[in-house]
A = this chain, B = another copy of it.
Amino acid sequence: MTASTSLTTHTAQAGHFYAVGIGPGSPDLLTLRAARLVEQCDVILSPQARNSKKSLALEAVRPFLDQQEVLVNNYPMERNDQKTRDRWQLLAQDVAKRCAAGQSVVQVTLGDPLIFATSSYLLQGLAELMPANKLHVVPGISAFQTTASRFADALTLQEDRLTLMSATNLDAVEEALDHCETLVLYKAGCCIEELMERLRQRDLLANAKLVSCGEQGDHELVVDDLSQWQVTPLNYMTTMIIKIGNRPWQEV
């Protein structure tokens, strides 16, 4: 597949690293820039959680693969900051060596590389090893945008505050409900029953929607009113949107 033919900026350059967001999983939700960099680079680095059957990121860019070298980077999902940074530091050393040898390297990341993404650790490692002008980030569609698009309903307007966080700490979630008009919860599957109970107590359950595995073909689940939904087990990649209120313009 040819991503585009006449746009001439942002081609993969020898010795450069690109953290490329590829969106939620549909190949046609890559940006033209992302697709071209994937097509043109020498090496594609694809993260894969060790408990996954396949790399979703690699599946999403498959239409753009040809002769590139593909490195699948297995990593365990563990909530330990130091171990996580040590692991990505090792990978950063390998990437820096490849770039020093003149290769162009693209890391493909589901969503956006700077929003709750492992790309950030690799970038932080590389920042110590490579000049800043050889490190690039291409933004991608993040899961909260995919989720919102399913409902065609504004996330935020006028003076609204939109907050994004993970649903792992429900006390923190409750605090956030008091300080924004729209709350987005990543990893909403991890504690869905207790989360729903807390929303019910605040009379917010009918204001909550979720999408699991958005834009990932047959795996997608869309729930547009949680008060009408019978709970089923949810994938790790579940995003919830809770509309709490509105903050209209103040007349000037």
Tell me if B165 and A161 are in contact (CB < 8 A). yes
CB proximity of A196 to chain B, nearest CB, Å: 21
Q: Is the CB of A152 within 8 A of B139?
A: no
Per the bound structure, the CA–CA distance linking A142 and B165 in Å amounts to: 18
In the assembled complex, the Cα of A74 lies from the Cα of B122 at a distance in Å of: 45
- Selecting from A28-36, A90-98, A198-206, A228-236, the interface stretch reads A28-36
Minimum Cβ distance to chain B for residue A22 (Å) = 10
| Interface: A12 (CB within 8 A) | no
**Interface pair A162/B159, CB less than 8 Å apart:** no
Which residues of the partner chain B approach A10 to less than 8 Å between Cβ atoms?
28
Contact with B along A121-141 (1 / 0, CB 8 A): 101100100001001111111
Q: How far is the CA of A14 from the CA of B70 in the complex (A)?
A: 40
Q: Does A5 contact B (CB under 8 A)?
A: yes
In the complex, A250 has a CB within 8 A of chain B: yes
**What is the CA–CA distance of A157 and B84 in the complex, to the nearest angstrom?**
12
Q: Determine the interface band of chain A, counting residues with CB < 8 A from chain B.
A: 35 or more
Nearest first, the 8 A-B pairs at minimum CB distance are A120-B154, A139-B145, A79-B249, A137-B149, A28-B33, A28-B32, A161-B165, A179-B179
- Residue A7 at the B interface, CB < 8 A? yes
B29 touches A29 (CB 8 A): no
Q: A26-B33, A162-B115, A251-B80 are in contact. Are A152 and B169 (CB under 8 A)?
A: no
Q: Is A175 an interface residue (CB 8 A)?
A: yes
Q: Which of A234-252 contact B (CB under 8 A)?
A: 248-252
A227 interface hit (Cβ, 8 Å): no
User: Which of A32, A140, A145, A160 has its CB near the most chain B CB atoms (within 10 A)?
Assistant: A32
Contact A139 B135 (CB under 8 A): no
B145 to A132, Cβ gap below 8 A?
no
Q: Tell me if A57 counts as interface (CB < 8 A to partner B).
A: no
Is the Cβ of A27 less than 8 Å from the Cβ of B2? Answer: no
Interface assignment of A6: CB less than 8 Å from any CB of chain B: yes
